[in-house]
Structure 1
Amino acid sequence: MKIIIAGAGEVGFHLAKLLSYESQEITLIDPNKKSLAYADSQLDIRVVRGDATSISVLKEARINNADLFIAVTSSEPTNITVSVLAKRLGAKKTIARITNTEFIRHKDEIGFTELGIDELISPEALAAAEIELSLKQSSFNENYEFEDGALTMAGLTLSKTASFVGKTVKEAAEIFPEIHFVPIAIQRFGTQYTIIPRGDTRFKRGDNVVFITSEGGADELCRLTGKINQEIKNVMILGGTKIAYKTARDLSEKGLNVKLFEGNRDRAFEIAEELTKVLVINSDGRNVDMLDEENIADMDAFIAVGPNSETNIMSCLVAKSKEVKKTIALVENMDYFDLSHSIGIETLINKKLLAANDIFRYIRRGEVVAMTKLSNLNAELLEFEVKETSAVCNKLIKSIDFPRTAIIGGVIRNGVGMIALGDFKIQTGDRVVVCCLLKSIKRVEKLFL
């Protein structure tokens, strides 16, 4: 695919990096000479210096041949404007990064598609939604919902209390025949290798395991692994960022008790005026005495979404020392993922990764409805819609020539999620959730064309 990205900031650079690994033809546009020089030296891509709202710059980037145009500059008006221009100049599909989430809620009413913008994405809104889902399934360190929860991805680390530690996948299935979940990926403790489990794969203590669950499966998984899906009522948030604001607003509207720390006086008063159900405290959330004074030990969850990754991590560690059960940190450095999990922070949020996940489904072949990359695992979760022409259509799962480095986690049929095993027959219109290692993606895509 020929892909043009406007904006060489953190999201744009990260996207260009990931897409270049996929052997896509990438062109990156930015007016900043320094940002472009760094991207040019680090990545196998083409760079064009200039303002993306300039028609001549877009033509220099060969916009008329673009399969996908992605506008992710720091300016929302620029992203909207340049996406409209790109569509008019021949780009087949356009995506614009926005910060005003009202645009997403009223997308059809405004008619963004008619204007020339095929998709709107907000990394901040994606992060807030991820946080809310993590609180909903508080016992898991990684979550993702397909079709509003018809199927759910849940990741956790197996402790010695897990009922199936020491058993193979097949043995566990025989002991618990009525379960509504299936393992789709395993990372052994202390390794960087991702295993797609088969019947003879044995669960071990310390394994980081990703499951797909249908309705009721999450509760079963908690019981069998000794986890407790604690109800979250009292939440403390560090930071006055857009993510913090949206998270505090959404959680307080759902009846949760929310306290928010913001060190900047003007920003704290601004949030307090707009979010009347949230207790806003104008103080540095890293102050341990202040956290104690505000009863951090009584909190069910601590969410650190300030602008500094290191501060977010350290604040979560303070919360863990006060025995807060659920901690969530916003981090920008992907290298922190391994470190933070190893020291006990349950959930990490990365805006760049969330934005990339949302955009990546547009470059996958086949009818990809949704996708997510598994944190720290060299694997992707893809949701395909089955067409009459798909190679998997009207076939039993066990008869499909599926690569060993991929597995079907579940099927959504008429809005109902099901754990699909070997004798399940796939039909037209089914939405099939597949987990696969990166090396097998192209082969899996061909099955759903």
Structure 2
Amino acid sequence: MKILVAGAGEVGYELGKVLSEEQHDVTILDMRQSCLQRVVQNLDVLTVEGNATSPNSLVEAGAQTADLMVAVTSVDEVNIIASMMAKRLGVGKVIARVRNDELSQKDSPLSPSELGIDVLIHPEEAAASEIHLLVKRASASDVVSLADDRLQLVGLRIEKGSKVTDRPLQELAAEFDDLQSRVVAISRRGGTIIPRGSSILKANDHAFFVTKTEHLKRLITVTGHDDKALRRVMIAGGSEVGRLLAKKMCEDKQKWQIKLIEPDEEVASKIANNYRDILVLNGNPTDPNLLVVEGIQEMDAFISVTDDEESNIISCLMAKHLEVKKTVALVSKTQYVPLSQTIGIDAIVNVKASASDEIHRQIRQGMMLTVKALQGIKAEIIEVVAGKNCKMLDIPVRDLSLPEGAVLGGILHEGNVEIAVGDSIIRKGDRVIILALPRAIEKVDQLF
């Protein structure tokens, strides 16, 4: 596929990296030489220096022959204008990142399609949804619903002294044969391991499991965690992510006790008027004394979503030191994400990574139903339909020649879900869950 990416910032760079690894023909357009230089030095893509709102620049970047354009500059207006021009120039599909939520509202006087946008991405909305899921599942660092919510992929830290520590996976499978789950990846000291039966789980490993939804609570207990539901939550920062998260939690059936701290008095007052169920405090959410006075040590969860990502990390570390059970920090720099498990924060959510994931999922839409990058490892979870030309039909899993760097997690067949084992068989129309390293994704795609 020929893809034009407008914007060479973090999202554009990550998209260029992933899409070029999948053998797409990618061109990145940006007017900043420094950003393009980084792309040229690290990625196998074409670059064009120019303004995304210039018709000549878009033509030079190949808009007239592109199958898809993704507008991810840092300015909403540029993304909208670039989308309109690209559509007029003949681009088949246009995806645009727009932070302003006016276009996505039902009563908007203009729809995205009227502006040439086929898919509108709202990164703050995606980040808020991700945090909401993480807080609902107390012990997990990642939560991805799969197979119509029949399967879950969860990231869990292996606690010292748990029943699974220092034992081979094949031994654990025999002992817990009634626990429908499978380890599909392990993050250890910054490296990614695609496990085999002889692989051993060690204390402080970050393991990713595919499990039946009804077996999730037991899995969490077996790995050494207490899955007691969270109730008392403190949100540091009334940013757009903070407001969207507060809204989602207020609409949730779960009865949350929420405190939100916002330094801007006008913003704090507006949030307090809009969400009566939340205690809103006007103060500096990075002030340790204020956090202690307001009872951070009594909270079940602390979520820091201010615009200062370093302060978010430090605040979460302080909360963890005060024995808050779950901490979540919002960041925008991708290099901070692998650090989360190492330094003790339960989960780090990256707004730009959330946007990149959503865009990547839209690009792969078709036979691939889910594409989700995972926190702390260089792998993605994929949900794919086995088509009539699938090369893996009616062959036991043990006899399949899967690409190196890919592992089967589960299969949904005619409404019945199963964790993939040696004698499992894939049939036409089945939905299959696979974890794959980036280099293996294209090969997996070809197999299905």
TM-score, length of structure 1 as denominator length: 0.90
| Residues 381 and 436, structure 1, Cα contact 8 Å, conserved in 2 | yes
Between 28-37 and 319-328, the greater mean CA deviation after superposition: 28-37
2:357 partner letter: N
| Residues 215 and 417, structure 1, Cα contact 8 Å, conserved in 2 | no
Where does residue 263 of structure 1 map in the other structure? 263
| Residues 259 and 280, structure 1, Cα contact 8 Å, conserved in 2 | yes
Which runs of 4 or more aligned residues in structure 1 lie more than 6 Å from their structure 2 counterparts after TM superposition?
none
Between 343-352 and 250-259, the greater mean CA deviation after superposition: 250-259
Where does residue 421 of structure 2 map in the other structure? 421
**Structure-2 separation of matches of 1:246 and 1:379:** 28
**CA, structure 1 residues 64+367, in 2 after alignment: closer, same or farther (shift >3 Å)?**
same
SS in 2 for 1:281: strand
**CA, structure 1 residues 124+417, in 2 after alignment: closer, same or farther (shift >3 Å)?**
farther
SS in 2 for 1:216: helix
**Structure-2 separation of matches of 1:277 and 1:365:** 38
Between 311-320 and 75-84, the greater mean CA deviation after superposition: 75-84
SS in 2 for 1:246: helix
Q: Deviations over 1:182-205 (max 9, x none)?
A: 1001233x3x33222222222233
1:224 partner letter: V
| Residues 21 and 438, structure 2, Cα contact 8 Å, conserved in 1 | no
Where does residue 202 of structure 2 map in the other structure? 204
Where does residue 220 of structure 1 map in the other structure? 218
How much identity, in percent, do the aligned residues show? 38
Q: Deviations over 1:82-138 (max 9, x none)?
A: 32432332223221112355755759x987568753322221111111101111211
Where does residue 336 of structure 1 map in the other structure? 336
1:347 partner letter: A
Q: Deviations over 1:9-41 (max 9, x none)?
A: 332333334444555433233345655555556
Shift of 1:414: 4.8
Where does residue 55 of structure 1 map in the other structure? 55
**CA, structure 1 residues 416+269, in 2 after alignment: closer, same or farther (shift >3 Å)?**
farther
1:246 aligns with 2:241: no
Matches within 5 A, 1:320-399: 320-361=320-361, 367-399=367-399
Shift of 1:6: 1.7
Where does residue 183 of structure 1 map in the other structure? 183
**Structure-2 separation of matches of 1:147 and 1:116:** 32
| Residues 164 and 224, structure 1, Cα contact 8 Å, conserved in 2 | yes
**CA, structure 1 residues 166+14, in 2 after alignment: closer, same or farther (shift >3 Å)?**
closer
Root-mean-square deviation (CA), in Å? 2.8
**Structure-2 separation of matches of 1:240 and 1:246:** 9
**Structure-2 separation of matches of 1:167 and 1:110:** 58
2:334 partner letter: M
**Structure-2 separation of matches of 1:432 and 1:85:** 39
Where does residue 74 of structure 1 map in the other structure? 74
**Structure-2 separation of matches of 1:259 and 1:234:** 8
| Residues 23 and 442, structure 2, Cα contact 8 Å, conserved in 1 | no
SS in 2 for 1:335: helix
1:157 aligns with 2:162: no
Where does residue 286 of structure 2 map in the other structure? 286
**Structure-2 separation of matches of 1:410 and 1:113:** 37
Between 16-25 and 119-128, the greater mean CA deviation after superposition: 16-25
**Structure-1 separation of matches of 2:191 and 2:35:** 33
1:3 aligns with 2:3: yes
**Structure-2 separation of matches of 1:68 and 1:434:** 26
**CA, structure 1 residues 33+270, in 2 after alignment: closer, same or farther (shift >3 Å)?**
farther
Between 421-430 and 292-301, the greater mean CA deviation after superposition: 421-430
Aligned length, in residue pairs: 446
**Structure-2 separation of matches of 1:289 and 1:148:** 45
Q: Can you give the 5+ residue segments of structure 1 that lack an aligned partner in the other structure?
A: none
| Residues 33 and 49, structure 1, Cα contact 8 Å, conserved in 2 | yes
1:398 partner letter: R
**CA, structure 1 residues 18+308, in 2 after alignment: closer, same or farther (shift >3 Å)?**
farther
1:447 aligns with 2:426: no
**Structure-1 separation of matches of 2:376 and 2:264:** 34
**Structure-1 separation of matches of 2:296 and 2:365:** 48
Q: Can you give the 5+ residue segments of structure 2 that lack an aligned partner in the other structure?
A: none
**Structure-2 separation of matches of 1:346 and 1:198:** 26
Shift of 1:69: 0.5
Shift of 1:237: 0.8
**Structure-2 separation of matches of 1:432 and 1:128:** 28
**Structure-1 separation of matches of 2:24 and 2:225:** 42
Shift of 1:360: 2.4
**CA, structure 1 residues 105+265, in 2 after alignment: closer, same or farther (shift >3 Å)?**
closer
1:98 aligns with 2:105: no
